[in-house]
């Protein structure tokens, strides 16, 4: 695909070569993300960061990524602080905000809303999550992390996706991205009521991959390279009581890991993990487990989002031109 000026709304836009390109640019971003070098390649550019649903990582890492490339960030969070609370349409908001920004990142609770916004926007839009639909930048950073963690080609990968596979947009985008590789084996572990929508499973099978569906955590995690755990998406349920029925159903802790997983199985989660006692899908006792990749995964979000901005604003090959060393104390790892 041609990245320059493109909106990133769905993982369906990508071919394997596009993903390789994003990852190659992401690799080059490491010294900047680690604050060893600074670049001003996006000096003068403005990111409009519009988040209408709670977010920590996605919002802040999009903002940091843009800042690290030398650009400025303007933000609006929640409906209450935006004119949408006064009845403004997505169309009008998009027309206005795209006059103030060079690229916009947006998260919104409704499926398809970010696409609708992008159609009215005068600048590229990156989908930071639209309801239960898609979260393409998360899927890219997940795949980037998987590749780094397993240290070999993604072909032949075995992955278990666990938890709320019905409403979880990260697993929806990730499974569709994995479709582009060869001979993938996916184990889907969820309560029957929260299973992965059939259309995603069909697409995988049609593309020649194998998909296994299970309601038992211990069945699913024994023979995979990656265990990808997810949170019950309580905000998408009709009531809290309904969400509570499923909370805490599939808990991974060190004891279960030691007993059932292979010693090198990598543990991932898009975060936030729900650390309240009734949930705890990834127990804190895994924190010292070297295969717990969740914080490396979150760090990788900055690299991948820097790469997306550099490609969309067409400066990927100019990043190093304005590079200089930093002169403040910086972390070395």
**Of residues 89-128, those binding ligand NCD (CB under 6 A):** none
DSSP for 261-279, written as a single string:
S-TTPEEE--S----STTT
DSSP E strands: which ranges in 190-295?
Answer: 210-214, 226-229, 266-268
Min dist. Cβ of residue 210 to ligand NCD (A): 26
185 touches ligand NCD (CB under 6 A): no
236 touches ligand NCD (CB under 6 A): no
Cβ proximity of 132 and 169 under 8 Å: yes
300 touches ligand NCD (CB under 6 A): no
Helix extents (H) in 29-162: 30-33, 57-68, 90-100, 113-120, 136-150
129 touches ligand NCD (CB under 6 A): yes
148 is catalytic: no
| Among positions 158, 169, 249, 305, the unique one binding ligand NCD when judged by CB under 6 A | 169
Min dist. Cβ of residue 169 to ligand NCD (A): 5
76 is catalytic: no
Identify which of residues 220 and 270 has a Cβ nearer to ligand NCD in the complex: 270
251 touches ligand NCD (CB under 6 A): no
Nearest to 142 by CA among 226, 240, 221: 226
58 is catalytic: yes
| Among positions 135, 172, 247, 249, the unique one binding ligand NCD when judged by CB under 6 A | 135
Cβ proximity of 26 and 19 under 8 Å: no
**Distance separating alpha carbons of residues 262 and 311, to the nearest angstrom:** 38
58 touches ligand NCD (CB under 6 A): yes
For residue 326, count other CB atoms closer than 10 A to its CB: 13
Cβ proximity of 59 and 107 under 8 Å: yes
57 is catalytic: yes
71 touches ligand NCD (CB under 6 A): no
Identify which of residues 135 and 209 has a Cβ nearer to ligand NCD in the complex: 135
Identify which of residues 169 and 249 has a Cβ nearer to ligand NCD in the complex: 169
170 touches ligand NCD (CB under 6 A): yes
Cβ proximity of 109 and 84 under 8 Å: no
**Distance separating alpha carbons of residues 232 and 247, to the nearest angstrom:** 6
| Structure token digits, residue 273 | 């993990």
107 is catalytic: yes
Identify which of residues 170 and 265 has a Cβ nearer to ligand NCD in the complex: 170
Backbone angles phi, psi at 221, to 5 degrees: -100, 0
271 touches ligand NCD (CB under 6 A): yes
Identify which of residues 125 and 319 has a Cβ nearer to ligand NCD in the complex: 125
Min dist. Cβ of residue 52 to ligand NCD (A): 12
Identify which of residues 138 and 145 has a Cβ nearer to ligand NCD in the complex: 138
57 touches ligand NCD (CB under 6 A): yes
Cβ proximity of 30 and 323 under 8 Å: no
DSSP E strands: which ranges in 230-303?
Answer: 266-268
| Catalytic residue numbers, as ranges | 57-58, 86, 107, 135
Report the interface residues with ligand NCD, using CB under 6 A.
Answer: 57-58, 129, 135, 138, 169-170, 231, 233, 270-271
């Amino acid at each position: 695909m041609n990245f320059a000026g493109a909106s990133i709304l769905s993982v369906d836009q990508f071919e394997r070569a596009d993903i390789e390109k994003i990852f190659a640019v992401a690799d080059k971003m490491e010294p900047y993300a680690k604050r060893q070098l600074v670049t001003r390649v996006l000096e003068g550019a403005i990111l409009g960061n519009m988040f209408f649903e709670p977010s920590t990582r996605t919002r802040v890492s999009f903002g940091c990524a843009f800042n690290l490339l030398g650009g400025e960030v303007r933000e609006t969070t929640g409906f209450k602080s935006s004119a949408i609370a006064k009845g403004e349409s997505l169309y009008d908001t998009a027309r206005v905000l795209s006059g103030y920004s060079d690229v916009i990142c947006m998260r919104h609770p409704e499926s398809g809303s970010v696409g609708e916004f992008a159609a009215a926007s005068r600048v590229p839009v990156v989908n930071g999550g639209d309801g239960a639909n898609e979260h393409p930048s998360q899927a890219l950073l997940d795949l980037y992390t998987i590749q780094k963690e397993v240290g070999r080609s993604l072909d032949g990968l075995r992955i278990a996706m666990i938890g709320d596979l019905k409403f979880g947009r990260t697993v929806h985008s990730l499974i569709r991205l994995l479709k582009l590789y060869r001979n993938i084996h996916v184990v889907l572990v969820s309560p029957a009521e929260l299973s992965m929508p059939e259309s995603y499973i069909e697409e995988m099978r049609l593309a020649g991959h194998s998909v296994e569906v299970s309601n038992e955590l211990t069945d699913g995690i024994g023979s995979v390279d990656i265990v990808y755990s997810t949170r019950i998406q309580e905000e998408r349920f009709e009531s809290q009581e309904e969400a509570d029925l499923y909370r805490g159903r599939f808990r991974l802790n060190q004891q279960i890991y030691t007993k059932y997983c292979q010693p090198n199985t990598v543990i991932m989660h898009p975060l936030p993990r729900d650390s309240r006692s009734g949930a705890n899908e990834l127990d804190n006792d895994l924190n010292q487990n070297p295969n717990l990749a969740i914080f490396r995964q979150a760090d990788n979000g900055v690299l991948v989002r820097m790469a997306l901005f550099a490609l969309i604003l067409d400066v990927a090959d100019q990043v190093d031109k304005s590079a200089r060393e930093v002169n403040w104390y910086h972390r070395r790892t």
